[in-house]
Amino acid sequence: MVVVTDGIINSNVDAIKSILCQGKRANIMGGRLRAGEEINANVLGNATSGTETICEVGFDPKNKVEMESLLEVKGNSEAELDHLKLDLQNLINTKKQRKTLPEDKEAYLQELMERRQVLTDDLARANENIEKLKTLMNEVQIRGKVSASKKVYPGTVVIIRDVKESVRTEHKASTFILENGLIRMTKYEEPDEIAGKGLDGYSSH
């Protein structure tokens, strides 16, 4: 649990369980906050700047970070593979037409073929790990909620599990929950646990 007695401004904060802001200035403005179960503050977002405040709950943040890393590897491998295939096909077509290639071009052709195999293997591993992690994340049933005891301003983004909702109008004393695959806003709910039991997350500014 991450407990803050003042505000969180333009920071990245991760917690295995909860992020609780308590006190007169316990506002979350800007940055990205990720917690397994709950994010709770007086105010979410900023009334004047419109700075995006991203609040994500309903998963283990470590799993989410790992998933993002795997998706990045997959995206990079796919992009490089697409580009490589074009170069490879051009060389193959040229070789078919001319029956042979200059020595440097032939070496480059072999290099591309080897690189294609490496990328194909990397992509296969990434896809396999992504599916395993998806299964793991889906097996962990966490309710997840995002709450503000006073106000939620436009520019706040609420993500619960894999569902995203951008707040477009100002709301008072609200809690966001996931229900039937949709994010729904209800009346404000107090934090599930009292603060002060110690920290289990980390923050980076």
pLDDT digits (tens, 9 = 90+) for 171-186: 999 999 999 889 999 9
DSSP 45: S
**55 and 147 assigned to the same domain:** yes
**What pairs with residue 12 in β-bridges?**
32, 204
**Tally of domains in the chain:** 2
Predicted local distance difference test score (pLDDT) of residue 104: 93
Predicted local distance difference test score (pLDDT) of residue 47: 84
Closest CA to 153 of 27, 5, 3: 27
pLDDT digits (tens, 9 = 90+) for 93-123: 999 999 889 999 999 999 999 999 999 999 9
| Domain finish residue from 109, 139, 169 | 139
Q: What is the CATH number of the domain that holds 185?
A: 2.160.20
Q: Report residue 22 as tokens.
A: 């308590």
| Domain finish residue from 139, 166, 196 | 139
| Domain finish residue from 107, 123, 139 | 139
Q: Report residue 164 as tokens.
A: 């995203």
Predicted local distance difference test score (pLDDT) of residue 99: 87
Mean pLDDT in residue range 82-92: 94
Mean pLDDT in residue range 46-58: 87
What range defines the domain where residue 147 resides?
Answer: 2-60+142-204
Provide the pLDDT confidence category of residue 140 given band limits of 50, 70 and 90.
low
Is 198 within 8 Å of 24 (Cβ atoms)? no
Predicted local distance difference test score (pLDDT) of residue 168: 92
Q: With 0.75 as the threshold, say if the pTM is over it.
A: no
Predicted local distance difference test score (pLDDT) of residue 205: 40
- Alpha-carbon Rg for the chain, nearest whole angstrom, is 24
**68 and 127 assigned to the same domain:** yes
